[in-house]
């Protein structure tokens, strides 16, 4: 086997894996503050991509389309929190699992009808000629995925550490009652985390669409893998998602090459089940102690 | 007896009516729908086990449908197997895979469990698609319906077969869920901690429940394959799973009639969508119901969102029905809105609502309970013994860096009541948690009747330790009687296959008699049928005590049993604990109520900062200056 | 002079069970009031009802004349009540200094510029608790029990509150450390801080309080000045039967 080709596959796979890491990061954001996450996140990615496509077709230049799409994602995230999560959190139940699934189902149906069931190309100003680095071809699009994902995750982490608001959200994650006592509204913190999670999903949609086209099923495929990454890395850990995401992406490339493209999905799914079996709190996460 | 007859005749009537339909109605389309109804009935009864009884979100049932369908389909098409053997093999395959999935998946909490089942579904779909040589992949698999014992089954015959299958599943599952198995499923949903502490292995039962549900899914899959005689992997998709969940939630969880009702909804939905008029009528009805419920809820103090959301969802359905061109295209959105309205506005489902309504109308008295057994049968007196029952040596338990229990040694004599007191944070509860098996000790030794016991709640319970909890851990949805029955030991000896055929009724009656005796012991015999969460606080504390006694323990651990009790109840508690001692049961009692400790305890151990501070008779301990200082603070604190 | 805190006929609890059955008390401005009693008497429940972590089923709570019963925890904090909860509850993963900064969340700018705005209050906190200054960048979860307690008190003070609730400051601490904590409390008293103190160690509490309430089974059993209570055997009985 030509090491060049294997290297190519691994690098391309790893760069795409950063996309899974990005979506997984969105899960971590909401799980940290509220121990909940959006099971319909895939549909959120897909709808945001379609909305971005619409903005582009309406004539918006890339520089304006991107922030508009991100704003849409944030609003959608807030909508999910209000409609599907807040009630269950108040009742201290896990009803948000079903309710976020339901919201996702609704969005999928709406998208099918508004934009149709066909996959559509996503125009992008980023050039498609590959760049040659260390003997491997990397397309600027793949680079944009990597830079966009790492950049946004880095930016949010920076804000978490530098701003008082970021510390406040970390406080809510650590101890919501104690946070209330210093005047931090746990509800607002949860809202913020869902808005950021939605924004991150929209970014993922915009970054991946030029590569894989926009279609009603794009989200479902992505999000299961993001789940794998989030669970393996640990829903409460930090940058583990980046490593696990890249690992999964590389693994998928290999599986696809040796077993056929239909099996591309398999490593992620098997990984998830194995990880849940062996270490439900993830490779990087911490186990909790039962209090009676 | 009346209730039993009423319910059974309703079921019998329903079966006869359904069986008679093809004789009266000639429409093949209607017959096809009814056949599908029977098949989905089996499928949803299986799904209800994990969703209704275990309270989990199971996103994998559609995969088991597919596994069963393809197993049966392949055995018939490729190997020429007969109908019954391939149906059995299909259930078996699904059950086996279900058990395999359950073993890792059921260690997980709710969201991770949902994720695991979702991944499993996706993986199954991929496998069915990719293993083309075996399954035909996306091209599909064709099969011809095999004959049953030599008779070729046309649509009428096959319908009767499916109806028979539904009836069989109905009866067996009913027997199972009405037995101690069903109680265990509900108990572990309400409090896995208490279920383990009462010696009922939570994990084992969860796996069994999930596997059963999957097996039923596989069985339904075989029938599905024989029905359509053509299979494609795409059928078993996320959308179908959403419809199944809709069926269970809308019909009503934890109810077989609910599953059947849900199956009706699932089967009729496509028809509902193709007729705009029917759709609009039903959504208008739904909107009206949501408005009525919402307004009533607001008056009662239900949250604004909870009252308004179903109205918004049904309103959207009605308005959407008017505006869109083809309701068919918006299938998924319609399911979503229906599910949303039901989940927020009618969480008990249609069946839950109906049974309350019908119970109001018909007032059928429940089956009479047997007379309580003699106390000696339910709680035999233990022979007196000498020496220490519980020996704790140099016990340590650390959390992170904190030494909650820091090297404590003491003994509890057979047949005594031993008190454990100390200020807040002294480690009493941690000590009891280690002795009952909730946490393993970090170091040190615990001997029970001279022997070491494997750490863990269930082994400790089996070894003869029973406990109550500082924060009540009752099985809220179960009745007081059921709470006690879950904990009874060595009463349910019948193996599973016989339970399923309904032969366990005798055992059940004897268990009820024993449980009633225990309830009478604590003064709750009149509230046997009241759900535990509806009992007043004092009664709940006594119920936990009765439940612990159902274990016939050698050692009873009571963690602040008098907390929050009014004075008359405290006196009653003292009397009960004295009566427990008369039965030869040894008690270790954590309490803050000094009058209780003084009245009851033969010996008292005082803890402070994880260590033993003093030990002796209650009067002596009360006057010990070290103990006074621990409770009131040092005489000179601030300089 | 109006009371800083006025509680009338407070009822409340967890779920359908009311642990508190009609509690009334007052805290005058600048005074230290102790709330004592055995475990299960309802002291911590009272505190949680005051600071908004629990909703009362009946009764009123006035903070400096403003009704606060039924408000969320963060709303009550914004109105000037600071609660250092039972078990300290510092933000473990964050540093000591971050914990202190968050204590001032109700009046600091939320995005940038907060360090400058908080500088003076931080210095004052470090003056009061020099040990915290040594550990300012250390993760709060790794501090010792006594240091965490001091951090919890300092964090509550950063809010510049009208009323400070201190819940069981001595719990789980060695006697030497308890002395240090109470020396700090005495200093606060000298500075004129209004303080409601929950303490299970009666002798310790009576040393610093101007007035004390003793709770038993969800209601006030006895109340009075330390001198009066010292002579009243009912106080001792409420603890030891």
Parallel, antiparallel, or unpaired for β C81-84 and B611-616? Answer: unpaired
CA closest to B566 among chain C residues: C217
Q: Where is B616: in which H helix or E strand?
A: strand B611-616
Three-class HEC string of B157-213: HHHHHHHHHHHHHHHHHHHHHCCHHHHHHHHHHHCHHHHHHCCCCHHHHHHHHHHHH
Per-residue CA distances from A98 to B336, B350, B624, C133 (Å): 10, 18, 58, 48
CA closest to C143 among chain B residues: B401
pLDDT at B466: 95
Q: Are B246 and B265 in contact (CB under 8 A)?
A: yes
CA closest to B114 among chain A residues: A97
Q: Which candidate, B487, B480, B483, places its Cα nearest to that of B458?
A: B487
Q: Does C114 touch chain A (CB under 8 A)?
A: yes
Say if the Cβ atoms of C91 and A177 lie within 8 Å: no
Burial bucket for residue C88 (CB in 10 Å: 0-12, 13-18, 19+): buried
d(CA B591, CA C226): 28
pLDDT at A268: 79
Q: Are C189 and C208 in contact (CB under 8 A)?
A: yes
Q: Does B423 touch chain C (CB under 8 A)?
A: yes
B563 neighbourhood in chain C, CB within 8 Å: 40
pLDDT at B637: 45
Q: Which of B122, B242, B455 to mutate to test the interface with A (most CBs of A within 10 A)?
A: B122
CB atoms within 10 A of CB B629: 16
pLDDT at B638: 45
CA angle (A72 as vertex; A70, A74 as ends), nearest 5: 70
Ordered by start, the domain boundaries in chain A are: 3-217
Q: Which pLDDT band holds residue A212 (cuts at 50, 70, 90)?
A: confident
Say if the Cβ atoms of C182 and B560 lie within 8 Å: no
- Residue C178 placed within a domain: yes
Tally of structural domains, chain C: 1
Tokens representing residue A67 in the block: 């922030």
d(CA C140, CA B337): 46
Residue A291 has pLDDT above 60, yes or no: no
Q: Which candidate, C222, C166, C154, places its Cα nearest to that of C194?
A: C166
C108 neighbourhood in chain A, CB within 8 Å: 164
d(CA B203, CA B437): 16
Q: Which of B632, B634, B636, B639 to mutate to test the interface with C (most CBs of C within 10 A)?
A: B632
Instruction: Please tell me the distance in Å from C167's CA to the nearest CA on chain B.
Output: 12
Q: Does C90 touch chain A (CB under 8 A)?
A: yes
Q: Which pLDDT band holds residue A1 (cuts at 50, 70, 90)?
A: low
Q: Does A273 touch chain B (CB under 8 A)?
A: yes
The enclosing domain of C225 has a CATH number of: 3.40.50.300
A290 neighbourhood in chain B, CB within 8 Å: 193, 438
- Residue C66 placed within a domain: yes
C89 neighbourhood in chain A, CB within 8 Å: 175, 177-178, 181
Region A175-196: mean pLDDT is 94
CA closest to B429 among chain A residues: A292
CA closest to B334 among chain A residues: A106
DSSP 3-state percent helix, strand, coil across chain B (nearest 5)? 65, 10, 25
Closest to A224 (Cβ–Cβ): which among B119, B193, B332?
A: B119
Kindly report which listed range (A266-270, B243-247, B287-291, C145-149) carries the lowest average pLDDT score.
A266-270
Residue A237 has pLDDT above 70, yes or no: no
Interface partners of A (3+ CB pairs, < 8 Å)? B, C
Closest to A182 (Cβ–Cβ): which among C77, C109, C110?
A: C77
d(CA A264, CA A251): 9
Q: Does B523 touch chain C (CB under 8 A)?
A: no
CA dihedral of B595, B599, B605, B609, whole degrees rounded to 10: -10
Say if the Cβ atoms of B336 and A265 lie within 8 Å: no
Place of tokens 């911490």: A286
Q: Does B594 touch chain C (CB under 8 A)?
A: yes
B597 neighbourhood in chain C, CB within 8 Å: 241
Q: Does C74 touch chain A (CB under 8 A)?
A: yes
Q: Does C239 touch chain B (CB under 8 A)?
A: yes
Arithmetic mean of pLDDT over chain A: 87
Three-class HEC string of A117-146: CCCECCCCCCCCCCEEECCEEECHHHHHHH
CA closest to B624 among chain C residues: C240
Q: Where is C190: in which H helix or E strand?
A: helix C175-190
Q: At what angle do helices B349-362 and B238-251 cross, to 10 degrees?
A: 20
Q: Does A265 touch chain B (CB under 8 A)?
A: yes
pLDDT at B566: 77
Q: Are B187 and B486 in contact (CB under 8 A)?
A: yes
Q: Does C193 touch chain B (CB under 8 A)?
A: no
Residue count of chain A? 292
Q: Does A270 touch chain B (CB under 8 A)?
A: yes
d(CA B119, CA B240): 15
ipTM of the assembly? 0.89
- Residue C108 placed within a domain: no
Q: Does B424 touch chain C (CB under 8 A)?
A: yes
Identify the segments of chain B with pLDDT beneath 50: 637-639
CA closest to A185 among chain C residues: C74
Q: Are B305 and B298 in contact (CB under 8 A)?
A: no
Say if the Cβ atoms of B638 and C38 lie within 8 Å: no
The structure's pTM equals: 0.86
Residue A53 has pLDDT above 60, yes or no: yes
Parallel, antiparallel, or unpaired for β A131-133 and A136-138? Answer: antiparallel
Say if the Cβ atoms of C77 and A168 lie within 8 Å: no
Closest to C241 (Cβ–Cβ): which among B537, B595, B632?
A: B595
Which of A64-78, B480-494, C10-24 shows the highest mean pLDDT?
Answer: A64-78
Interface partners of C (3+ CB pairs, < 8 Å)? A, B
Residue numbers of the domain that contains C17: 5-91+145-240
> B531: helix, coil or strand?
strand
CA angle (B83 as vertex; B81, B84 as ends), nearest 5: 105
Say if the Cβ atoms of B424 and C170 lie within 8 Å: no
Say if the Cβ atoms of C110 and A164 lie within 8 Å: yes
Say if the Cβ atoms of C201 and B638 lie within 8 Å: no
Per-residue CA distances from A180 to A218, C76, C149 (Å): 39, 9, 18
CB atoms within 10 A of CB B139: 10
Burial bucket for residue B210 (CB in 10 Å: 0-12, 13-18, 19+): buried
Per-residue CA distances from B434 to A102, B135, B188, B351 (Å): 43, 53, 21, 43
Q: Does A37 touch chain B (CB under 8 A)?
A: yes
pLDDT at B2: 67
Residue C183 has pLDDT above 80, yes or no: yes
> C55: helix, coil or strand?
coil
CA closest to C106 among chain A residues: A183
> Residues B524-529: contacts with CB within 8 Å, 24+ apart?
B524/B480, B525/B372, B527/B480, B528/B369, B528/B479, B528/B480, B528/B481, B529/B366, B529/B479, B529/B480, B529/B481
Q: How many CB pairs under 8 A join B and C?
A: 74
- Residue C111 placed within a domain: no
Q: Are A233 and A18 in contact (CB under 8 A)?
A: no
Q: Are B429 and B470 in contact (CB under 8 A)?
A: yes
Residues forming beta bridges with residue A264, ordered by sequence position? none
Say if the Cβ atoms of A178 and C94 lie within 8 Å: no
Q: Which pLDDT band holds residue C233 (cuts at 50, 70, 90)?
A: low
Q: Does A167 touch chain C (CB under 8 A)?
A: yes
Q: Are A164 and C97 in contact (CB under 8 A)?
A: no
pLDDT at B133: 81
pLDDT at A255: 84
Say if the Cβ atoms of C102 and A174 lie within 8 Å: no
CA B369 to chain centre: 23
């Amino acid at each position: 086997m030509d090491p060049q080709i294997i290297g190519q596959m691994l690098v391309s796979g790893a760069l795409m894996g950063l996309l899974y890491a990005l979506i997984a990061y969105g899960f971590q954001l909401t799980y940290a503050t509220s121990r909940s996450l959006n099971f319909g996140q895939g549909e959120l990615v897909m709808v945001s991509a379609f909305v971005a496509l619409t903005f582009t077709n309406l004539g918006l230049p890339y520089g304006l389309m991107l922030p508009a799409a991100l704003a849409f994602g944030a609003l959608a995230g807030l909508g999910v929190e209000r409609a599907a999560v807040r009630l269950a959190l108040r009742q201290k139940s896990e009803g948000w699992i079903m309710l976020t699934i339901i919201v996702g189902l609704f969005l999928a149906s709406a998208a099918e009808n508004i934009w149709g069931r066909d996959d559509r190309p996503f125009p992008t100003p980023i050039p498609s000629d590959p760049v040659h680095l260390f003997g491997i071809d990397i397309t600027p699009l793949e680079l944009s995925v990597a830079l966009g994902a790492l950049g946004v995750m880095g930016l949010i982490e920076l804000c978490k550490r530098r701003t008082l608001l970021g510390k406040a959200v970390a406080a809510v994650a650590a101890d919501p009652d104690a946070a209330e006592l210093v005047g931090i509204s746990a509800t607002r913190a949860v809202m913020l985390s869902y808005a950021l999670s939605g924004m991150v999903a929209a970014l993922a949609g915009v970054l991946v669409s030029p590569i894989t086209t926009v279609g009603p099923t794009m989200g479902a495929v992505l999000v299961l893998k993001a789940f794998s990454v989030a669970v393996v890395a640990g829903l409460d850990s930090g940058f583990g998602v980046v490593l696990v995401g890249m690992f999964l992406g590389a693994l998928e490339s290999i599986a696809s090459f040796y077993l056929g493209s239909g099996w591309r999905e398999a490593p992620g799914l098997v990984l998830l089940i194995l990880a849940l079996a062996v270490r439900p709190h993830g490779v990087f996460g911490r186990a909790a102690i039962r209090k009676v | 007896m009346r209730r039993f007859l009423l319910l059974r005749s309703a079921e019998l009537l329903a079966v006869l009516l359904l069986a008679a339909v093809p004789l009266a109605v000639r429409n093949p389309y209607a017959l096809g729908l009814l056949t599908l109804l029977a098949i989905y009935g089996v499928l949803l009864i299986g799904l209800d086990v994990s969703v209704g009884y275990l309270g989990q979100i199971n996103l994998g049932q559609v995969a088991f449908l597919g596994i069963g369908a393809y197993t049966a389909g392949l055995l018939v098409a490729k190997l020429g197997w007969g109908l019954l053997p391939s149906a059995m093999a299909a259930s078996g395959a699904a059950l086996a895979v279900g058990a395999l999935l359950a073993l890792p998946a059921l260690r997980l909490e709710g969201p991770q469990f949902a994720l695991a089942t979702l991944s499993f579904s996706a993986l199954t779909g991929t496998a069915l698609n990719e293993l083309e040589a075996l399954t035909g992949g996306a091209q599909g698999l064709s099969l011809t319906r095999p004959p049953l014992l030599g008779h070729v089954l046309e649509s009428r015959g096959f319908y009767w077969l499916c109806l028979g299958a539904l009836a069989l599943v109905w009866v067996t599952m009913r027997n199972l869920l009405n037995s101690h198995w069903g109680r265990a499923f509900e108990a572990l949903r309400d409090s896995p901690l208490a279920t383990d502490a009462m010696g009922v292995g939570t994990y084992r039962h969860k796996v069994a429940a999930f596997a059963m549900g999957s097996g039923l899914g596989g069985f339904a899959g075989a029938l599905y394959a024989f029905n359509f005689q053509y299979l494609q992997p795409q059928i078993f998709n996320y959308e179908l799973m959403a419809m199944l969940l809709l069926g269970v939630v809308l019909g009503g969880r934890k109810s077989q009639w609910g599953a059947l009702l849900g199956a009706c909804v699932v089967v009729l939905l496509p028809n509902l969508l193709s007729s705009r008029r029917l759709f609009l009528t039903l959504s208008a009805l739904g909107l009206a119901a949501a408005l009525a419920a919402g307004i009533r809820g607001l008056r009662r103090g239900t949250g604004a969102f909870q009252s308004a959301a179903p109205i918004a969802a049904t309103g959207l359905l009605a308005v959407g029905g008017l505006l869109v061109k083809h309701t068919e295209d918006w299938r998924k959105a319609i399911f979503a809105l229906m599910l949303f309205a039901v989940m927020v506005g009618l969480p008990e489902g249609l069946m839950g609502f109906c049974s309350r309504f019908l119970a109001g109308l018909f007032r059928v008295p429940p089956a009479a309970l047997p007379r309580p057994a003699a106390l000696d049968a339910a709680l035999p007196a233990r022979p007196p013994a000498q020496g220490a029952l519980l020996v704790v040596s140099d016990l340590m338990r650390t959390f992170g860096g904190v030494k909650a229990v820091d090297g404590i040694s003491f003994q509890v004599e057979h047949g005594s009541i031993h008190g454990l007191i100390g200020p807040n944070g002294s480690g009493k509860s941690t000590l009891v948690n280690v002795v009952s098996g909730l946490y393993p000790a970090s170091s040190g030794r615990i001997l029970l009747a001279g022997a070491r016991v494997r750490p863990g709640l269930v082994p400790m319970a089996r070894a003869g330790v029973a406990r109550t909890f500082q924060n009540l851990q009752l099985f809220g949805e179960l009745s007081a009687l059921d709470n006690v029955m879950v904990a009874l030991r060595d009463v349910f000896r019948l193996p599973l296959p016989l339970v399923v055929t309904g032969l366990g009724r005798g055992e059940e009656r004897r268990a009820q008699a024993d449980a009633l005796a225990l309830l009478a012991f604590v003064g709750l015999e009149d509230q046997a049928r009241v759900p535990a969460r509806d009992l007043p606080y004092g009664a709940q504390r006594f119920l936990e005590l009765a439940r612990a006694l159902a274990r016939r323990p050698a050692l009873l651990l009571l963690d602040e049993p008098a907390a929050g009790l009014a004075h008359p109840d405290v006196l009653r508690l003292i009397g009960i604990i004295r009566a427990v001692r008369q039965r030869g049961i040894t008690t270790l009692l954590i309490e803050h109520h000094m009058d209780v400790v003084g009245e009851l305890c033969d010996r008292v151990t005082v803890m402070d900062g994880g260590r033993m501070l003093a030990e002796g008779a209650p009067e002596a301990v009360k006057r010990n200056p070290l103990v006074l200082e621990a409770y009131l603070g040092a005489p000179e604190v601030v300089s | 002079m109006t009371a800083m805190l006025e509680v009338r006929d407070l009822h409340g609890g967890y779920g359908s069970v009311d642990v508190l059955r009609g509690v009334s008390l007052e805290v005058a401005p600048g005074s230290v009031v102790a709330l004592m009693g055995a475990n299960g008497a309802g002291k911590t429940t009272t505190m949680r009802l005051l600071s908004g972590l629990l909703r009362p089923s009946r009764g009123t709570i006035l903070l400096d004349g403003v009704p606060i019963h039924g408000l969320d925890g963060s709303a009550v904090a914004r109105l000037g009540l600071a609660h250092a909860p039972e078990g300290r509850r510092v933000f473990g993963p964050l540093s000591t200094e971050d914990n202190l900064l968050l204590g001032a969340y109700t009046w600091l700018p939320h995005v940038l510029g907060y360090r400058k705005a908080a500088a003076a209050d931080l210095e004052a906190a470090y003056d009061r608790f020099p040990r915290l200054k040594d550990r300012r960048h250390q993760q709060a979860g790794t501090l010792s029990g006594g240091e965490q307690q001091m951090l919890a008190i300092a964090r509550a003070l950063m809010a510049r509150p009208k009323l400070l609730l201190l819940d069981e400051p001595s719990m789980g601490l060695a006697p030497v450390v308890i002395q240090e904590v109470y020396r700090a409390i005495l200093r606060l008293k000298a500075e004129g801080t209004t303080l409601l103190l929950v303490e299970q160690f009666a002798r310790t509490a009576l040393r610093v309080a101007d007035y004390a309430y003793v709770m038993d089974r969800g209601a006030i059993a006895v109340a009075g000045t330390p001198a009066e209570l010292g002579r009243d055997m009912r106080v001792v009985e409420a603890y030891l039967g």
